[in-house]
Chain A
């Protein structure tokens, strides 16, 4: 079975400060990890993914994420937050070894960036 945990329901940060949204995962095989963002009443937009290689992956809108195999984590980061980054963020995992195409999401973290 595969699962994702996002331990924080909400993260508040001041504009211009760095932000981190946490994610940990559990899979039997190789993890394929994804971050998505959702604005109100909209579908999910892909931000970035980790498949293999460099543990630091860069994505859209200045976001990046760090894969840590020993801690089974894939935290989303941005050096300088913008008010427009305020949205709901989801981490997702797919088992790259025999898990099929199933994509499992975490419960989401609401990011609020304030002036």
Chain B
């Protein structure tokens, strides 16, 4: 059974047109993460939520925003996508204890045209 679900799996958007990626979880985990991964590189943490507390990475561009309306859902908004934002976006969840592993969704591959 899928536990972390990302929609859509593939997203094509136009340069500069706002786009939203979604993530849902059935694990009831406190922590939700958004990572950006470019062509077989390391996943790069954009931000994460601990419950409703939002933690932004210092080098995450302002163009990237996130919302977490409830425990189960988290959204990644890209306000004005550029060609450099084309990547795989990975959502992950974990329990609040630091010794627990993160569970990843299948990812959304974003193409910017």
Chain B's interface size range is: 20 to 34
B31 within 8 A of A: yes
Q: Evaluate contact between B42 and A105: CB separation under 8 angstroms.
A: yes
Q: Are B94 and A43 in contact (CB under 8 A)?
A: no
The digit string for A32-43, where 1 denotes a CB below 8 A from any CB of B, is: 101010000111
- Nearest chain-B residue to A6 (Cβ)? B42
Tell me, yes or no, whether B101 is within 8 Å of chain A by CB. Answer: yes
- Interface contact B106-A43, CB-CB below 8 Å: yes
Q: Name the A residues within 8 Å of B75 (CB-CB).
A: none
| Contact status B45-A103, CB under 8 Å | yes
Place the interface of chain A in its size category.
20 to 34
CB of A42 to closest CB in B, whole Å = 6
Q: B26: CB under 8 A from chain A? A: no
Q: Tell me whether B55 and A100 are in contact (CB under 8 A).
A: yes
Asked if B42 and A108 make an inter-chain contact with CB atoms under 8 angstroms apart, the answer reads yes
- Asked whether A41 and B109 contact (CB < 8 A) given A32-B99, A96-B99, the answer is yes
Task: Please determine whether B43 and A51 come into contact, CB atoms closer than 8 angstroms.
Answer: no
Which residues on B are within 8 Å of A, measured CB to CB? 4, 6, 31, 33, 40-43, 45, 48, 50, 55, 88, 90, 92, 94, 96, 98-99, 101-107, 109
Q: Point out residues on A near B: beta carbons under 8 Å.
A: 32, 34, 36, 41-46, 49, 51-52, 88, 90, 94-96, 99-108, 110
